[in-house]
Homo-oligomer: A and B are copies of this chain.
Amino acid sequence: MQDRVIKIGVAGLGRLGIMHAKNIAYKIKNVELTAICDSNNKNLLKYKQQLNIEYGYASFPEMLENKELDAIAIITPSAFHCDQIELSLEAGFHVFCEKPLGVNLEDSTKAKKAVFDHPDKVFMLGFMRRFDPSYKYAKKKVDDGEIGQPILFRSYSVDPISSIDSVLSYIPHSAGQFVDMAVHDIDLARWFLKSEPKSIYAIGGCFAYPEFGEYGDGDNVSALMQFENNAMAFFLAGRTAPHGYNVETEIIGTKSTLRIGSVPQKNLVEIIDQNGVRKECSQSFHERFEDAFKNEMQEFVDCILENRKPEVNVEDGVQSSKIAELATKSFKTNSLIKL
């Protein structure tokens, strides 16, 4: 078994796609980056050469004709995800797809059906936080009962202010902070709490950038949810963190509380100067979740090799997207939503 190598074709060479491609090429075992696909021909040629890849495709369907491949990794714009999942599965490939599953419920239901119709194929959605060593460590403690009964799950996803320009230019294509940012936290809440929300109330505003308001969104939004097991969950999603990439989670239980990343420190260096005693912070999801991205792709490969299914499945994608959409609706209508 150790000898078998999974051949993967990566679709989409944006910033995230390139990172996945490099991880597959260099950082993951029992795998080969055999093909890449991107509509930008210049990018395609550049990375084909740089990463020493055998095949390069400008068209997604063309890549699916390459039967040397075992699996497809879909890192394309969200609007393409569900179609490409369906096509890839029907063409006989295992599929890794970046989050979110789809941009609306109809879309993701279609993808879900496709996954169910191909039970022999591995399908995995890129909720990489589940593969972060700190989140995994916390999850094990929660599952082992170390925190007792979960009372409150609190999770923030706030992008660094330093990346505001690219965020602002993306607003017209954004599905809103809950879908774009909080969907990760929502997946984590479901994962840790093993329950689904029964009520949702969301609010928000434009505290620094009125541009978001023009599209009915806020630059910072929050939601309070109660889950079926009565656990409470509070979410904050935003775009204006002054200190870096602020992803933090707290799980308060009856026996103990866990906090993950409440100081999103870059490394183990502490600086003592005229500003006081301080830790510098991670500046991007690349930096914060470098290991998580590698670990999730390794898990995808290992699932194929070991003929098993990943823990994070298509239903997680459908459900998290649905909850994020309901939070968006609550925020836009300023109303309480009960499920």
A interface with B by C-beta (< 8 Å): 2-3, 25-27, 29, 50, 52, 133-134, 137-138, 141, 148-152, 199, 201, 203-208, 220, 222-224, 226, 230-232, 234, 236, 238, 240, 242-244, 252, 254-281, 334-336, 338
CB-CB under 8 A from A25, the residues of chain B are 29
CB-CB under 8 A from A207, the residues of chain B are 148-151, 230-231, 254
Cβ–Cβ contact B224 & A242, under 8 A: no
A170–B230 Cα distance when bound, in Å, is 24
Cβ–Cβ contact B278 & A276, under 8 A: yes
CB-CB under 8 A from A150, the residues of chain B are 207
Cβ–Cβ contact B255 & A242, under 8 A: yes
Instruction: Pick the residue among B52, B240, B258, B266 that contacts A272 (CB under 8 A).
Output: B258
Cβ–Cβ contact A277 & B281, under 8 A: yes
A138–B281 Cα distance when bound, in Å, is 14
Add 14 more A-B contacts to A205-B231, A205-B232, A240-B254 (CB < 8 A).
A25-B29, A134-B269, A151-B207, A205-B226, A222-B234, A232-B236, A234-B234, A242-B256, A243-B274, A243-B276, A256-B273, A262-B262, A277-B279, A335-B336
Instruction: Pick the residue among B203, B234, B277 that contacts A226 (CB under 8 A).
Output: B203
A302–B223 Cα distance when bound, in Å, is 43
- Distance between A77 CB and nearest chain B CB, rounded to angstroms: 29
Instruction: Pick the residue among B152, B206, B220, B255 that contacts A222 (CB under 8 A).
Output: B152
Most buried by B among A52, A151, A266: A151
Instruction: Pick the residue among B149, B236, B336 that contacts A152 (CB under 8 A).
Output: B236
Instruction: Pick the residue among B26, B244, B261, B271 that contacts A256 (CB under 8 A).
Output: B271
30 contacts between A and B (CB under 8 A): A2-B52, A137-B269, A138-B269, A141-B269, A141-B271, A148-B207, A148-B208, A149-B208, A151-B205, A152-B222, A152-B236, A199-B334, A203-B226, A205-B226, A207-B231, A208-B254, A220-B252, A222-B234, A223-B224, A224-B224, A224-B234, A232-B236, A234-B234, A243-B257, A256-B273, A257-B272, A257-B273, A258-B269, A277-B278, A335-B336
Cβ–Cβ contact B281 & A278, under 8 A: no
Cβ–Cβ contact A220 & B151, under 8 A: yes
Cβ–Cβ contact B203 & A224, under 8 A: yes
Name the CB-closest residue of B to A30.
Answer: B26
Cβ–Cβ contact B276 & A268, under 8 A: no
Cβ–Cβ contact B152 & A220, under 8 A: yes
- Distance between A21 CB and nearest chain B CB, rounded to angstroms: 14
Contact status of A268 and B265, CB under 8 A, knowing A203-B224, A276-B281: yes
Contact status of A243 and B273, CB under 8 A, knowing A149-B208, A151-B238, A267-B137: yes
- Distance between A291 CB and nearest chain B CB, rounded to angstroms: 9
Cβ–Cβ contact B243 & A277, under 8 A: yes
Cβ–Cβ contact A232 & B203, under 8 A: yes
Most buried by B among A148, A261, A265, A275: A275
Name the CB-closest residue of B to A282.
Answer: B268
Instruction: Pick the residue among B134, B268, B277 that contacts A134 (CB under 8 A).
Output: B268
Name the CB-closest residue of B to A204.
Answer: B232
Contact status of A242 and B272, CB under 8 A, knowing A29-B26, A201-B201, A224-B203: yes
